Amino acid sequence: LKFIFGPCAVPALDLVDHRSVTRVTSPSGRTAYQVLGSSGKLYTCYSSCHFCTCPAFGFTVLQKSESLLCKHILAVYLSQAMGACQELTVSEEQLTSILLADEEDEG
């Protein structure tokens, strides 16, 4: 994994080991993932469009194109493959609040 994904592979595996990935699902079937980062901050990831709200994703993936993903996205993919995601079902309103909270943090 380290050969393919570089330096984010080991930290991503650590997040999976600590069961830091939660799949958040609403009754309509909308899904997002929340990853509790090593810093204690909660990041929202979208596997369907390959996006994470963490600063590393914005900088190394989007701005500098130095990497294909951050450790949080990789942890989501690994957790999905291993069946290691925590599961949380929320209302449509709660999911909307989760998604809007990330926008407010950025702006």
Provide the domain limits for residue 16: 6-99
CA atoms within 13 Å, Cβ hemisphere of 53: 22
Q: Does residue 18 lie in a domain region?
A: yes
Q: Does residue 1 lie in a domain region?
A: no
74 or 7, higher pLDDT? 74
pLDDT tier at 107, thresholds 50, 70, 90: very low
Q: Does residue 52 lie in a domain region?
A: yes
φ, ψ of residue 79 in degrees (nearest 5): -65, -40
pLDDT at 104: 58
Q: Does residue 13 lie in a domain region?
A: yes
Q: Does residue 104 lie in a domain region?
A: no
Domain tally for the chain?
1
Q: Do residues 40 and 100 lie in contact, with contact meaning Cβ atoms separated by under 8 Å?
A: no
What's the burial of 58, exposed, middle or buried (CB within 10 Å: 0-12/13-18/19+)? middle
Q: Does residue 105 lie in a domain region?
A: no
Q: Does residue 91 lie in a domain region?
A: yes
Q: Does residue 45 lie in a domain region?
A: yes
